[in-house]
Amino acid sequence: MGAMPTRGRISGLALLTIALSLLFVGAACAQKPLTLDERAQALDKRIMCPVCPGETIDQTQAEIGKQMRALVREKLAEGWTDQQVLDYFADRYGPSILATPPKGGFSVLVWIGPPIGIVAALVGLAMVLRAMRRGARVAQPETVARKADLAPYLDVVDQELTAGQDAPPKGRGAPARNRQGRQR
């Protein structure tokens, strides 16, 4: 028989594979620093145009959008950070100028509201489905019990139906009868 690898060799090989994978992932994720123009373009996508509904300043052709793009480049050339530029515009135009709401204060509801709503909807759906399944299981024995309770009534109905078949039909062709049941 051939020699089987021991547990120590397998774990060493697994550790080596994981280490090399992490090294390659780290090398692939290492980014070169962004140029001034790349930073400006990224910021242009994060600032809304104050006169064009639903457009960022990188999309708009309005004059104010062109001026704001030039101002972003000017501030970056002066050495401002991306956050300082965003804060500058938020101070001048209000927080609604930012394409993404701030992740603090009252605006945090915008970030946590949808996931909470989705989870609540899924929990509600699970509860409804569970109740429907329980209802289906309970309904079957109730139906059998109700049929047993209705048996005497159904027997009477059956007797009247069979007795009614022997009687002459009522309607247009039947002779009229008075209160005593005699024909007129």
Backbone angles phi, psi at 129, to 5 degrees: -65, -40
The mean pLDDT of 124-153, rounded to a whole number, is 76
Report pLDDT digits (tens) over 37-91.
889 999 999 999 999 888 999 998 999 999 999 999 999 999 999 999 999 999 9
Cβ atoms of residues 72 and 82 within 8 Å: no
Average pLDDT, the chain: 79
**pLDDT number for residue 20:** 78
Q: Does pLDDT of 183 surpass 60?
A: no
Using the 8-state DSSP alphabet, how is residue 94 labeled?
-
Identify the top-confidence range among 78-87, 109-118, 135-144, 150-159. 78-87
Using the 8-state DSSP alphabet, how is residue 183 labeled?
B
Specify the DSSP element, H or E, that contains 68.
helix 63-77
Give percent above pLDDT 90 in the chain: 31
- Of residues 41, 69, 64, 43, the one with CA closest to residue 52: 64
Q: Does pLDDT of 104 surpass 90?
A: no
Distance, CA of 173 to CA of 9 (rounded, Å): 101
Q: Where are the domains of the chain?
A: 32-100, 107-162
CATH placement of domain 32-100: 1.10.8.640
The mean pLDDT of 1-7, rounded to a whole number, is 53
